Chain A
Amino acid sequence: AQTVTQSQPEMSVQEAETVTLSCTYDTSENNYYLFWYKQPPSRQMILVIRQEAYKQQNATENRFSVNFQKAAKSFSLKISDSQLGDTAMYFCAFLGNAGNMLTFGGGTRLMVKP
């Protein structure tokens, strides 16, 4: 079974600065997919970014980018130029190639301060 660990329960960052959220996972699979989801106070789960394990290039989506280290089983999320609207819970999630159930980490609560 896969496990996903987010070691930072809470983080804060000043508006306009950069913050990195950590995620590690454990799997015996070689092909898999990793995701970051954002859950603002509205409770909606919003996809932030996804990474295919077979791709060496790190995924980027505007101000969001990942540092995917397959050998280390690490998948961190970097948010550049943080905005107040980035305040949310962030969940790292793993999806195996054979299955279709997401395994989530425990989440990191991010507060962006003005």
Chain B
Amino acid sequence: GAGVSQSPRYKVAKRGQDVALRCDPISGHVSLFWYQQALGQGPEFLTYFQNEAQLDKSGLPSDRFFAERPEGSVSTLKIQRTQQEDSAVYLCASSPRLAASTDTQYFGPGTRLTVL
């Protein structure tokens, strides 16, 4: 079946612009994660949803970052007033069950954000 999809794949923003990044998880997957991957680094956790509930947003770097998953499927990560340090690949992952730490997380291709 279809995997996790993300759009856009590439986004260039001028500093100060707002951006919205979309994630379509695997159908039926309850858990959804956002990660940020800076150049030369591993992915770093941003936030976690179980269905529509955002249970952990401890990784969001500032209040300019906002995520939602209103109907428990598609999720959007919004970054307001983008800064150059926001340039990174933003990865979305989903897993099938509630709070199952042994579950495999299935990753999308990522959105590469470049802030000029």
The answer to whether A and B belong to the same complex is no
Chain A positions within 8 Å of B, measured between CB atoms, are none
